[in-house]
Amino acid sequence: MTTLFISDLHLDPARPEITRLFGEFVDGEARGADALYILGDLFEAWVGDDDPSETGAFVAEKLKALADSGVPVSFMHGNRDFLLGGDYARRAGMALLADPMRIDLHGRSVLLMHGDTLCTDDVAYQQFRTQTRDPAWQAQFLSQPLAARLAFAQQARAASQARQGELREAGTMETITDVSPVAVEAAFAEYGVDTIIHGHTHRPAVHDLDVGGRPRQRIVLGDWYEQGSVLRVSSQGFDLSTLPGP
């Protein structure tokens, strides 16, 4: 049997074809899996479980049917959907995971992460992350009317795109928004694992490393902007591959 990992789908009403691809994946390959892990950024934005979007309803329906069929579904918050709460998780049949989370995977101890905490060179983002993960900030934000929260999310997205443009012009986009090798080594040392699986950077790859004199692997999941990306893990090993786009 195979365990499936996906992340960075960024599902959004503006990209219905990717939402359909996700639905086909859940109804198809995922039905034969041991488990499905979603390591963050399932949605492009999430402003609260009271958001009545059709995309959110579609995803909840598909994942709940998968869970009811006997395939456990686990979700880890990303930097776009960190406000996804227990109400929506119950609707979708998902278990919420802490970030990071260490699991046993076919006899191997593996650390799961969204990946944004490894990007320590992006100081501005890390400051924003600290602010928005504060329970008081979240409570205050969620107390606002839905329209105000949606407007904030749109403004935050525009600001993020503008900042990425500035980093590209400065030639620092690739280094600042990728993981820090120091942070990666620290994670391996702290959690005592030989494998880390994460998303966030949109740079799918399997990195073979030597950390502390031991062979290690860092597996980066791909995004779903133009196509799908899935990591399949079985007793035979790891297979990171692309799903054809719509």
Evaluate whether 24 touches 243 at the Cβ level (below 8 Å). no
Is residue 176 predicted with pLDDT exceeding 70?
no
Please give the model's pTM, rounded to 2 decimal places: 0.94
Q: Is the pLDDT of residue 210 over 70?
A: yes
Parallel/antiparallel/unpaired status of strands 108-112 and 101-105: antiparallel
**Residue 171 pLDDT > 70, yes or no?**
no
CB 187 within 8 A of CB 115: no
Question: What number of H helices and E strands is found in the chain?
Answer: 8, 11
pLDDT at 174 > cutoff 80: no
User: In this predicted structure, what is the pLDDT of residue 170?
Assistant: 67
Decide which of 169 and 153 is more confident: 153
Q: What is the pLDDT of residues 150-159, one digit of tens each?
A: 999 888 888 8
pLDDT over threshold 70, residue 30 = yes
pLDDT of 72-126, one tens digit each?
Answer: 999 999 999 999 999 999 999 999 999 999 999 988 999 999 999 999 999 988 9
Would you state the pLDDT for residue 173? 60
pLDDT in tens, 50-67: 998 999 999 999 999 999
- Could you tell me which of 6, 77, 79 has the C-alpha nearest to residue 36? 6
Length of the chain: 246
Max CA separation in the chain (angstroms): 53
Q: Which domains does the chain have, with CATH numbers?
A: 3-243 (3.60.21.10)
Higher pLDDT, 177 or 179: 179
3 state SS of 206: strand
Number of Cβ atoms within 10 Å of the Cβ of 223: 21
Average of per-residue pLDDT values in the chain: 93
Amino acid 177: pLDDT: 75
Mean local confidence (pLDDT), 203-230: 95
